Amino acid sequence: MAKPRVFERFRDVQEELARTGSAVFRDKDSVESLVIDDPYSIHYIHSYAEDSPFFLALAEGRILGSRCTNPRCRFVFATPRSHCMFCGRPTEWQELPQKGRVHSWTTCHFGSEAFLKETPYNLALVEFDGAGSLLLCRLKDAVESEIYVGMPVEARFADPARYRITDVWFVPSGT
Ligand SMILES: [Zn+2]
């Protein structure tokens, strides 16, 4: 059996793994590491518990934030939380607008398994009228060089929903 080929860039190792299932990665100190492709899968059964309404709402094309129930606070969180981080009181669900603005963004050149096919991809912190915190979401159908702070964006939803955070993403408004 032929010895696995040697590569100095991990991307090349990944490609070789996809082709043959094994490769050698030589690092900058010339240390050679044998790398193998060893797939495994698990069924990860877990409960969203009190976060459940958020995921059920995504399936209906709605984004839920939460609002502090303290009449003197009423802070609105775009990333919902059960208790207010300012005054400690419980929150209640509050629907967010479908449209927002880019507060900041980054382009990811690597990601978890769910995103590898669309890498590189853009992540944006989205701000909404009436909410005091931000929501981290993918920004699709946008060219990196054309994204800017304050850019109007609007939500899109997976149909059918898979009850995952990837059920929602944003696109530039009007696309
Ligand atoms: Zn509060």
CA of residue 151 to ligand 1 center, whole Å:
29
Residues 161 and 134 in one domain: yes
Residues 19 and 58 in one domain: no
Instruction: Tell whether 84 is covered by a domain.
Output: yes
Q: Within this chain, do residues 116 and 90 fall inside the same structural domain, yes or no?
A: yes
- Residues 28, 55: one domain? no
157-162's contacts with Cβ under 8 Å and 24+ in sequence apart are 157/58, 157/59, 157/61, 158/58, 160/59, 161/55, 161/58, 161/59
For residue 175, pLDDT over 80 is answered with no
Instruction: Report residue 7's pLDDT band, with 50, 70 and 90 as the boundaries.
Output: very high
What is the distance in A from the centroid of ligand 1 to the CA of 65? Answer: 14
- Asked whether 32 and 47 are in contact (CB, 8 A), the reply is no
Near ion ligand 1, which residues have CB within 5 Å? 68, 70, 73, 75, 84, 86-87
Q: Is residue 109 part of a domain?
A: yes
> 108: CA distance to ligand 1 center in Å?
34
Do 54 and 28 lie in one domain? The reply is no
Amino acid of residue 100: G
Amino acid, single-letter form, for residue 157: F
Same domain, 115 and 66: yes
> Both 144 and 102 in a single domain?
yes
Q: Which structural domain, as residue segments, surrounds residue 123?
A: 49-172
Q: Are residues 59 and 83 in the same domain?
A: yes
* CB 80 within 8 Å of CB 51: yes
Nearest to 85 by CA among 97, 67, 100: 67
Closest alpha carbon to 70 in 92, 54, 94: 92
Residues 127, 164 within the same domain: yes
137 falls within a domain: yes
Res 121: pLDDT:
93
pLDDT digits (tens, 9 = 90+) for 43-102: 989 999 999 999 999 999 999 999 999 999 999 999 999 999 999 999 999 999 999 999
The tally of domains found in the chain comes to: 2
Question: Distance (Å, rounded) from C-alpha 175 to C-alpha 171?
Answer: 7
Distance 170 CA to ligand 1 centre (A): 28
What is the separation of C-alpha 75 from the centre of its chain, rounded to a whole number of angstroms? Answer: 24
In a domain, 21, yes or no: yes
Residues 127, 56 share a domain: yes
> What does the pLDDT look like over 97-147, one tens digit per residue?
999 999 999 999 887 777 878 888 999 999 999 999 999 999 999 989 999
pLDDT attached to residue 117: 81
pLDDT for position 4: 95
Report whether pLDDT(10) > 90.
Answer: no
**85: CA distance to ligand 1 center in Å?**
7
Closest CA to 52 of 82, 78, 74, 76: 82
pLDDT at 1 over 90: no
CA of 52 to the centre of ligand 1 (A): 22
44 occurs within a structural domain: no
Same domain, 12 and 78: no
The pTM is what? 0.77
Distance 50 CA to ligand 1 centre (A): 19
Are 58 and 28 members of one domain? Answer: no
